[in-house]
Chain A
Amino acid sequence: MRINPVLQKEMKIRMRGWRAAGMIGVYLIFMALTASFAMMMSMEGYYRSAIDPDLAIGSYTGLAVMQFVLISFISPALTTGAISGEREKQTLDLLLCTRMTPLSIVTGKLFASISQIVLLIIASLPIFSIVFMFGGISVIELLELFGFFIIISITFGSIGIFYSSYFKRTTAANVLAYGTIAFLCFGTIFLTIFYLGVFKGYDYKGVFPLMYVNPIVGFSSILWEQFGLGSMDFFPGLIVGSTAAVDFISPWIVNLLFNITLSIVLILLSANKINPLKVRHGGRFSLSHRRKK
């Protein structure tokens, strides 16, 4: 199998030097501290036996939340400079004048960043595995969560690479990528509550459509269903839980589908943006397209 040359080169560059090892080290320190903190909090106040599913759930939730937060911060940071950095270094034209397609350049850049995230996720496995000491969480559930994290990191990475291809400066791409992620995570909640408050008087049963695009909702939903805690009405417009799943599609499944679709769209838009012979806006086509008519 032939590996994308950009992916191969990026991985070589990224893994060289102390930065990659440093990032893994810092990441694992955060995760280990979170695990310790979660266990201490779960054990506080009363005696627990060593085998206690509640302890497992507490540790697992703490670690999963920390992993989610770290991925949300790291994924865009690794991708917002992917294309704009090539422009700033004046290396983008050198890639575009080769036989590589803009799409393979964008995917090479994106998956080089994602591979670093996957490495972080895999490196955190031993820390996550402490929950198995207490029971309550199966390997399948852990893999399910890790799969969700990988999809989320691809989505956040795609958002970063999209802005990176549209803006010449990495700083602008950074601000907009984090702004978009903040909107998806929090803006959609505020908009839902505002809309339901103004137009429905908070009288809304089920999951409001905008909630499906929220990564936090998807993440909470997957944990909630793994713990089998039944349904819960978090706030108007958001019900999660196994009972709710009977009446409504699980938010995390819809959220995953939305994330995959969004990623594909953003990758294609990014590739089109860096394509020097791209289809122009407003329905006008470049010479190549006009001549084909």
Chain B
Amino acid sequence: MLNIKGLVKKYGKFTAVNDLSLNVPKGEIYGFVGPNGAGKTTTMKIICGLMAADSGEVYVNDIDVINNGRKAKEVIGYMPDFFGVYDNLKVTEYLDFYASIYKINARDRKKICDDLLELVDLQDKRDAYVDSLSRGMKQRLCLARSLVHNPELLVLDEPASGMDPRARVEMKEILRTLKDMGKTIIISSHILPELSELCTSIGIIDRGRMVISGTVDEIMQQVYSKRFIKVKIKDKGEECVKIMQESPLITSINKDENLIEAGFEGNEEEMAVLLKELVMRGIPVISFGQMDGNLEDVFMKVTKGDEA
């Protein structure tokens, strides 16, 4: 769906985006992570035709964004990190205005506006003036605006910034719904745990370069080279440790009462085999799983490594 090859953008002597390449398949939610000034917003603006690149190629749905920007804009929905609203314009009029830009006829526009307001849960605000909405509502409305022309690719720059926890959860739910609808989403955020929950793939960008890209699991494996598993048992702790130590894939093990944490150099199938072995040998396993991937640690490690 989105294919970027060797993208370069310079501001004078400063290189904001440096030979960045990226491929996001259809239906993915791709998390774009990086420190401030890493080049996330610049890359997103180039994707949306809001900025010219110095070199490189950007294709959205096989449409060349750089040479055929107008056509590409019809399949891209963009939500910037900072956005404004017009005074004296009601919520439905706001959406209707953007829908009219895409030459959608008046009857269809009404239905689209109603559907989008339902999606972002703003039906009861349809006749409110846009500038009277709260920040969270404005952000949801902006998301609805980016969907008026039913784009295939959504580019969301920090969509949850400044939102309270409840609004963030609601935004996350909306994004999941959009994924279920088949939309491809590229999203930047500083709230890394949320990204790791939401995204199917993640790319970490630092100083304009793509440092690492892939699924969360792939990144964890690339960065840490091994997994950590956590086993909670009812009793038989010593026996459980002994069985686990028999596996050549266990690299380290630590027992704390009924909780066992172990380093594991294997894939998911091999984890399943280990669990089966424990159960077969009568260990009362309450829970068994991989320790949560901590994207923040990965982010710190990856970007720190680049600085060194």
Instruction: Spell out A's residues near B (CB within 8 Å).
Output: 2, 5, 8-9, 12-13, 16-17, 88-91, 93-101, 276-278, 286-288, 291-292
Contacts and interface: CB of A to CB of B under 8 A. Distances in A.
Contact of B55 (A17, A90, A287): A287
Contacts, number: 89
Interface residues of B, number: 37
Contact of B101 (A5, A276, A286, A287): A5
A86 B100 CA distance: 19
Contact of A288 (B67, B89, B142, B145): B67
Contacts of B52: 276-278, 286-288
Nearest to B142: A94
Interface in B77-100: 78, 80, 82-89, 93, 97-98, 100
A287 B65 CA distance: 11
Given A90-B82, A288-B66, A2 B103 contact: yes
Contacts of A13: 86-89
Interface in B39-94: 45, 48-56, 66-67, 69-70, 73-74, 76, 78, 80, 82-89, 93
Given A13-B88, A90-B84, A97-B76, A287 B49 contact: no
A276 B93 contact: no
B139 to A, nearest CB: 13
Contacts of A93: 45, 50, 78, 80, 83
Give the most central of A12, A93, A94, A292: most B CB within 10 Å: A94
A177 to B, nearest CB: 22
Interface string B108-145: 00000000000000000000000000000000001001
20 contacts: A8-B97, A12-B88, A91-B84, A93-B45, A93-B80, A93-B83, A94-B83, A94-B84, A94-B145, A95-B101, A96-B49, A98-B102, A99-B73, A276-B49, A276-B52, A286-B52, A287-B54, A287-B55, A288-B52, A292-B67
Contacts of A100: 101
A5 B148 CA distance: 14
Q: Which 8 residue pairs across A and B have the least CB separation, nearest first?
A: A89-B84, A90-B84, A286-B52, A5-B100, A97-B78, A91-B84, A9-B97, A13-B88
Contacts of A101: 70
A99 B48 contact: no
B45 to A, nearest CB: 8
Interface string B173-192: 00000000000000000000
Given A287-B54, A287-B55, A97 B49 contact: yes
B85 A89 contact: yes
Contacts of B83: 90-91, 93-94
Contacts of B48: 97
A9 B89 contact: yes
